[in-house]
Chains A and B, each alone.
Chain A
Amino acid sequence: MMEVLFIKLVLAGIVFFTVLNFAGFHTWVERKQSALIQDRIGANRADILGFRALGLFHGIADVIKLFTKEDIVPEGADKTLHTLAPVFSVFFALVAFAAIPFGDRLILGDTVVELQIAKINVGLLYIFAMLSLGVYGVILAGFASRNNYAILGGLRATAQMISYEIALGLAVIGVIMVYGTMDLSELVRAQGRMLGGWIPAWGIVYQPVAFVVFLTAALAETKRLPFDLPEAESEIIGYFVEYSGMKFGMFFLTDFLETIIVACLATTLFFGGWQVPFLMPDGFHFPGGAEFLVSNWIYVLLGMASFSFKVVVFCWIFMQLRWTLPRFRYDQLMRLGWKGLFPIAVGNIVLTAVLLFVFGRTS
């Protein structure tokens, strides 16, 4: 019992250490990537003993600044909710990572370790629940600030989340129908086969339409451009207009955490999670009979590397899109959600059902 607890604690430690650091790293990526896109250099002034390290220290400087800034709660604001809102935001974004499988079973002597903090058999539902609850923090922030702009931001966030969570959920149903499971680690395992020996049986092969819908809705879920209407710093500044110091920093962190969780989800559902093409648990099996056997350790490490690589690529794509597209107007946002994505997602489910009935389940 203690052993299991210890393993889970270590796993949780590893995941949250990686994820939080990656989220902090995202501030640097955001600055530098936008700079490269716009032919600039990007933040490079913060230095430690004259050593600038390409501006990497700006993240540290930001955190020091945010922690030492005065924390202001506006007059007339609900103090408790005002303090709780950013905590909710970060908490629900963080706990969603518990159900993400980031590697296959690791065999340590007699024990088999699932590289996933919590093996939940409805993991997908759990993640969506946590993502939906994450909006709670945003709404509370707008509600508790006693500021008209903040409440506008909160309301926009509510409307946007409701519109896009439906499309998000419906897009994922297609994947669930194809693989017949909501357990994320089983779902990834089901994506390990090869179709005709060459094409990996990843979600994107079976559900390309669902992938596009999912990606769009997921972008809206992260509340970043082009779907940053709750924030919209050029119009209403957003739900966190009354936040300062690290409370604001937590909302900022949530943005990046949500980007990462959405990248993790896209990887898990549509790009085979930790699967490496041609890599079976005992080694590489290439079509044509060539084999290259590897030990369990290397297999698991390769899987984790594959998962991390895909997540990083998705984060890059999200960042690139964020600096490519302008913000949607509110009516365009609603039209896209209800008249565009929603019918497409429903149509995709119907089509998937018909195809599954005709050809039978793949697994």
Chain B
Amino acid sequence: MNQVSSSPSVLISIDGEMSVFTIRDIATRLLEPLSNGVGMEIDLTGVTEIDSAGLQLMIAVKKMASDHELPLRFVGHSSSVIRILDLCDLVGFFGDPVFIQRGAVS
């Protein structure tokens, strides 16, 4: 996970698995900027796999950011992220633009 600072929000990319096995670490890293009053742009390009723990984390991040009125955007949704948002019909909940990639839509 890399952090590139650009005020007032930071760019964070999540790479690899975003599942119950890795979720605690990811949650801790995402909590830090929000607790310090910094918004985030979260790049999901490198997410290879996501389960419901990952999905829930996205929701919890979104809720905390909006509670604190901090900017938050998910970008670069990988095909596994698109699939889970589609399965749960949550694209609209997040409201971020999502682009289909070849193979993402069956």
State yes or no: do A and B come from one complex: no
